Structure 1
Amino acid sequence: MSKNNRKRAVEDGYLNWIKRMGSSPHSQFDKEENKVKICLNITVDKKRKFGDYFTIQKAVDSVPIVNHCRVVIHVYPGLYREKIDIPPTKAYISLVGAGADKTIIEWSDTAEQMGPSGRPLGTFGSATIAINSEYFIAKNITFKNKAPLPPSGALGKQAVALRISADAAAFIGCKFIGAQDTLYDHIGRHYFKECYIEGSVDFIFGDGLSLYDGCHLHAITNSYGALTAQKRESMLEETGFSFINCKVTGSGALYLGRAWGTFSRVVFAYTYMDKIITPKGWYNWGDKNREMYVLKS
């Protein structure tokens, strides 16, 4: 299969998945039309040679408020040290890098750091990039939180690389680099295709309804850690993390997940796992009652 045909197949797979997830069994989500046809291309070049803008946030800010068409922001190679926020009014944004090893966005906030209000940022506010708009797509780009690796269980050291808090997002060929709480899969339906996700404790966490397809999950702890922390709180919620054809590698002793929510739901299928997974496999977050409800496979 040619590169272009493979790219089209991946995008078609994402659109079909969104359509399926928007059907009757998942009707709590509003049904919207995705915007595939591109109406605007924007370029970002930190070297200020070729781009329309030299920071990614400036490019995002230039997108019209209450956007109704697909805007593609092409990001030239480089290390972009900036904290980025994409607000709810700017839907249908695609962020396209020159390659995950070439286009890197990084910041270093942690939950305990003080924000502009004079109060700690918290885990929610620590994200290098926060996405609050629907139908976001990212391709071939690295999202990094470069805060140092903390001891397992340290307080206030959560350091999110990316937070996705909106419906119908896709990440293709991306990297998410961090330690504690790397990827905040907060709320909404999300599709991760052939991504690399690195961390130590709860490095994929949240209450999303998300599919991880062909991803590489890498632990960097030398003591103990946990891959997931899923926060499904009710039997009526249809959320959960599904991992298929993935690979789990790394160091230390790793739980596949911790039951952050009373009804946490995580499924691994056709996934290779290094010999770092603890024999128990799962941790009940210190509450044995959660073992009555948690769905795990």
Structure 2
Amino acid sequence: MFLKLFLLVLLLESANCWVTSNMSNELIAVENAYMEWVRQRASMKQPVFQEGKKNLKPCRIIKVNKNPKFGEFATVQKAINSLPVVNLCRVVIYISPGTLQKIEIPATMAYITLVGGGAERTVIEWNDTADRMGRSGLPLGTFASATFGVNSPHFIAKNITFKNKAPSPPSGALGKQAVAFRISADRAAFIGCNFIGAQDTLYDHLGRHYFKNCYIEGSVDFVFGNGLSYYEDCHLHAITNSYGALTAQKRDSLLQETGFSFVNCKVTGSGALYLGRAWGTFSRVVFAYTYMDKIITPRGWYNWGDKNREMTVFFGQYKCSGPGADYGGRVPWSRELTQQQAQPFISIDFIDGHEWIQL
């Protein structure tokens, strides 16, 4: 609460500066707000969000297998439908190897863990796009195009591939967003999972999320949304033959505690790739200790066609390596972070992980 009130004061002071001062004063005000956030975040002992519950001991174990001799249900959706409307205990669902179809978990069914038989063998795939007509007779939109959608907190997935197999659209095509996975809830963890698609692969929509040893493939904005998320030891792979973008983070206010942090990751693929586009006015993305292949465009970042966002975004890198990590050609409004600036982003404290991650 103190941090939010403090930032609100800073925001009001910044707004006043915009009326009475010139451009340099605007930049100073925003920079001071960022640095105060860095200092506060590094020293905080209490999480910004409500402390996550540690309800990991399962109260029920379900096996999904098409052969009824080896499983209680033939599909994951039927297993989920068997749970109470309001689920308050950890349920672990083991999924046998095979290919499954589109699934959604409602907001009231918390504490679900899905365990696949290996990411290469347990694949959940579908092919919806944003412009496809839904049952209502209206286009699905990006949100509902997801092959797998999660709306409930305390979700865990291990060793599963989530895929949207819609064809990769040509550059500039409209309505072809095709989400492989959407997470719209707090305190979710993904271990050893693959997220495969093209445009808008992983919708990191809302909440705190942890990704460990995951593979994420796409072309444009293939990690996007307004989550507060930490990606550790992940492989990010581009599949574009022209210009693409890895991230599109949608932080719209200085008061929002959101952003993406990539630590000890690897970026490879084809085409020319921006590290991120400023979908939100206060978009925040950091890469630390990450290998970047030569596909990263020298400028590194794109302002979404709005020069005003150059004053408010927080795009940075820290001790990255590889031919695409050279900071010399980066846009002047991105940052080569100091140790102090990078500190809040390079551990699971960024997502208050010590309060809720127990895997």
Q: Choose which of 75, 81, 91 in structure 2 pairs with 1:55.
A: 75
Q: Helix, strand or coil for the counterpart of 2:132?
A: coil
1:44 aligned residue: 64
Q: Which amino acid aligns with 1:245?
A: N
Alignment of 1:22-33 (within 5 A): 26-27=47-48, 29-33=49-53
TM-score of the pair, normalised by structure 2: 0.75
Change (3 A) 1:25 1:223: farther
List aligned pairs for 1:122-271, cutoff 5 A.
122-271=141-290
| Higher-Rg member (1/2) | 2
Amino acid paired to 2:66: K
Q: In the TM superposition, what is the alpha-carbon distance from 1:51 to its structure 2 partner? A: 1.1
Hey, what does 1:72 align to over in structure 2? 92
Q: Name stretches of at least 5 consecutive residues in structure 1 with no aligned partner.
A: 1-19
TM-score normalised by structure 1 residue count: 0.90
Alpha-carbon separation, structure 1, partners of 2:181 and 2:308: 31
Query: 1:97-116 counterparts in 2 under 5 A?
Result: 97-116=116-135
Relative to its length, the structure with more helix (as a share) is 2
SS at match of 1:290: helix
Instruction: Name the CA distance, whole Å, in 1 between partners of 2:289 and 2:187.
Output: 24
Q: Which amino acid aligns with 2:61?
A: N
C-alpha separation between the residues in 2 aligned to 1:152 and 1:233? 26
Aligned-residue offset at 1:30: 3.0
Alignment-derived partner of residue 139 in structure 2: 120
What value does the CA root-mean-square deviation take over the aligned residues? 1.4
Structure 1 Cα separation of the partners of residues 173 and 158 of structure 2: 33
Secondary structure of the residue aligned to 1:236 is coil
Structure 1 position 34, deviation (Å) = 2.6
1:146 to 1:47, Cα distance in 2 relative to 1, 3 A: farther
Distance 1:41 1:263 in 2: 42
Amino acid at match of 1:46: K
Deviations 1:16-71 (A, max 9, x none): xxxx99x76643x3334131111100011134441111111001111112111110
Q: Provide structure 2 residue ranges, at least 5 long, that are not aligned to the other structure.
A: 1-40, 317-359
CA distance in structure 2 between the partners assigned to 1:37 and 1:233 by the alignment: 37
1:199 touches 1:219 (CA, 8 Å); kept in 2? yes
**C-alpha contact 1:152 1:201 (8 A) present in aligned 2:** no
Aligned residues: 275
Quick check: 2:52–2:187 contact (8 Å CA) kept in 1? Answer: no
User: Does the 8 A contact of 1:111 with 1:157 survive in 2?
Assistant: yes
Distance in structure 1 (CA, Å) of the matches to 2:124 and 2:69: 19
Structure 1 ranges of 4+ moved more than 4 A: 23-26
| Deviation string, structure 1 residues 74-132 (Cα, Å, up to 9, x no partner) | 0000111x110100110000000010001000000000000111000000000001000
